[in-house]
Amino acid sequence: MDLDANPQHQDSEEKPKGIVVILSGAPGSGKSTFCNDVLSAGRRSWVRVCQDTIANGKAGTKSQCLKSAAAALKEGKSVFIDRCNLEKEQRAEFVKLGDEQVDVHAVVLDLPAKVCISRSVKRSGHEGNLQGGKAAAVVNRMLQKKELPKVSEGFSRITFCQNENDVRDAVKIYSNLGQNDNLPAGNFGQKSPDAKVQLGIMKFLKKVENPKNASNGSQGSSPKQEIKDKDPCFMELENEHENKEGIKLKDSLVDDIPILAFPSISTSDFQFDHGKASDVIVESVIEFLNKVDNVRLVLVDISHKSHMLSLVKEKAEKKNIDPNKFSTLVGDITRLCTEGKLCCRVIANAANWRLKPGGGGVNAAIFKAAGEDLEMATKERADTLSPGTSVAIPLPSTSPLYRREGVTHVIHVLGPNMNPQRPNCLKNDYVKGCKVLRDAYASLFENFASITRDQRCNEVKSSDPRNDASKRSSVDNLHNDQKNKRDGFHDSESNKKSKPDDNMVVYKDKQKNEKTAAKRTWGSWAQALHQMAMDPEKHKDAVIEIFDEFVALNDLYPKAKKHILVVSRLPGLDSIADVQKEHLPLLKTMHDAGLKWAEKFLKEDASLTFRLGYHSVPSMRQLHLHVISQDFDSPHLKNKKHWNSFNTLFFRDSTDVIEEVEKSGEVTLNDENLLSVELRCHRCRSAHPNIPRLKFHISNCKASISSTQRLVFASS
């Protein structure tokens, strides 16, 4: 956390300035602790003004706080305003305490919601009595109205803290501040990726046109100058293609408009024709923006004389692409936020096939800026990259690029090569080259969309203290594993049931379940399992195990190396839509049979991992449990429906089905719309444009299989 904290000593004849530090943070963020830690240092004369104790140790009013702060300043003391101050309106009166002899600072304790909630719930003896069960609801409600401070409110200095290390750094700075010392003005500390607003974080609004009748005097001032006069947060673009027009900064950058900053792919070392490349960029952007709302794409180049930026800008304008959704920008992609041009969570890297640092240009710059953390995180995900594909790498919070710029993900993407000195040269085959380049941008944008969805899921989940991490167990502890809670992607999607955009329709009442099941008709081909279950002796070639309650058989079109079905023999039980509490013994018996088969396969190949579950809406009649290995290495896995039927909430884990029936006597069915959602790796959750690309990725993906799934593991 680079806070630029060198105190500036004033001339001995100057009267030292007082300081008002307005703390901003949710309950539980550590505001009172921050004040007490600084006060205990004793180098400067501080007064803590806390509304919870302002009235002789009891809660008071805002007016009392203002009066107390003004009195302390008059006595030559500096002041901490210990209130939540999460909204601009709450801070306004305290900011007015500043003048020529008093600087106004903000210290923003923007810690994760789950941290604040956990602290608030667990604490006792709180001054404001905000503790226990009621605290979680209060913290959530307050955070929904959060507006991060801006310099334009009247602050001379703002310090952002997103974690305990940042807080300790800020405490040290203010503790070391002597009576005659001042601190440099400006914004300091890394802005949190999910914060709404901060100086230097830009959102382009409509451009201000030059007035036709401008003459001289006040009416002759340029639109740019007028914006500067009105908005102290104005920043002029350094892009020579845009610096002739004024851009006004909006007061806030809304959380639900994520930004991807990306370089031009293949036009540097790979020597791809600029004209053809710019066409592909514009076409790919249009295609993506037509499918996805509330995102913004920014093409970045470090040079003011960039030919690519000129071409793309011109072609984008001709296609009438909304500049609020797609724009070009001159700048260093590794320093966009600190340079005050743009703040985004996700950036793209024009990588080499080895996914290694080195070379020149963007690849070398990003690996250098992100440090060894990026190289190590990349190795965990993939060894190589083929042209036309991409891989998303989550940056560890220890990475300098994460801490300084707020970048949470780097997406490595590899385009086509036309340089004979580089591998896989296409020798000017631009028919193939343009196709590969389109695939590369499509893969890049799909990964960006997936990251955005996951981050939104996690933001919803982070505000719920009930979400606990699950643990994976071995075969020796399979039944204990059934009691674990799920977290991560699947848990987040479950928490999103009330959201209109979660691609899921849930049948919640039993009457609707029965109605749905009653309407179902089965074609002759869909009766095969039913016939085998009812008369297994006639199908001995397919059936591998026969019991009174079920049969086991190999899936005729397996979707993985090992894929069997445990099929109920109970007449009238066509699918989980028909399941009721009376069927619990049967469900448990089928589950135990599935576990035994998984154990058998694991003894043959300890590298395998298995999952047991049911399709929400099966294609074959007769209730059947899938026991499927998670390699998905099969020529029969051919399309999106095949993949998503086993890797979305459409696939209901066996243990979840059993638990749900025990509690409510029925099973929640997830809609078939899930079969058409984007293809995502079940290991790293990255998105891919088609099955061949997904399979290639899976063969190289090194990420651990998500612990959010109910998995059966080999004993280690």
Query: Which residues are marked as active site?
Result: 624
Residues in the chain: 716
- CA distances (Å), 160 to each of 6, 148, 250, 609, in order? 17, 9, 20, 44
Output the CA angle 396-399-405, nearest 5 degrees. 110
Strand pairing report for 651-653 and 409-414: unpaired
Provide Rg for the chain, Cα atoms: 30
| DSSP-assigned letter for residue 453 | H
Question: CA nearest 76: which of 14, 18, 9?
Answer: 18
Q: What does the alpha-carbon distance between residue 549 and residue 568 come to, in Å, rounded to a whole number?
A: 6
Q: Buried b vs exposed e over 471-503: b needs ≥16 C-beta within 10 Å? A: ebbebeebeebbebebbbbbbbbbbbeeeeebb
Asked if 413 contacts 382 with a C-beta cutoff of 8 angstroms, the reply is no
Asked if 351 and 357 count as a contact pair (C-beta separation under 8 A), the reply is no
- Contact (Cβ atoms closer than 8 angstroms) between residue 49 and residue 135: no
Q: State how far the Cα of 307 lies from the Cα of 327, in Å rounded to an integer.
A: 15
Q: 346 - beta bridge partners?
A: 260, 409
How many angstroms separate the CA atoms of 266 and 280, rounded?
12
With CA atoms as reference, report the closest residue to 577 among 665, 485, 451.
665
The token pair that represents 132 in the structure block: 């226990």
CA angle 552, 649, 115 (to 5 degrees): 130
What is the DSSP code (8-state) at residue 583?
Answer: G
In sequence order, which residues have a C-beta less than 8 Å from that of residue 182 and are 6 or more positions away? 7, 8, 10, 16, 17, 19, 103
Please identify which residue in the block is written with the tokens 């999106």.
Answer: 640
Cβ 209 vs Cβ 244: under 8 Å: no
Residue partners of 369: CB distance under 8 A and separation at least 6: 334, 335, 400, 401, 405
3-state secondary structure of 609: coil
Amino acid at the residue 390: S
Count Cβ atoms below 10 Å from residue 715 Cβ, excluding itself: 12
**What is the secondary structure of 543-568 as a DSSP string?**
EEEE-SSEEEEE-SS-SSSSEEEEEE
Q: Are 533 and 551 in contact (CB under 8 A)?
A: yes
Helices within 96-244 (DSSP H only): 113-122, 134-143, 164-175, 223-230
With contact defined as beta carbons under 8 Å apart, do 183 and 133 qualify? no
Scored b (16 or more CB within 10 A) or e, 520-539 reads: eeeeeebeebbebbeebeeb
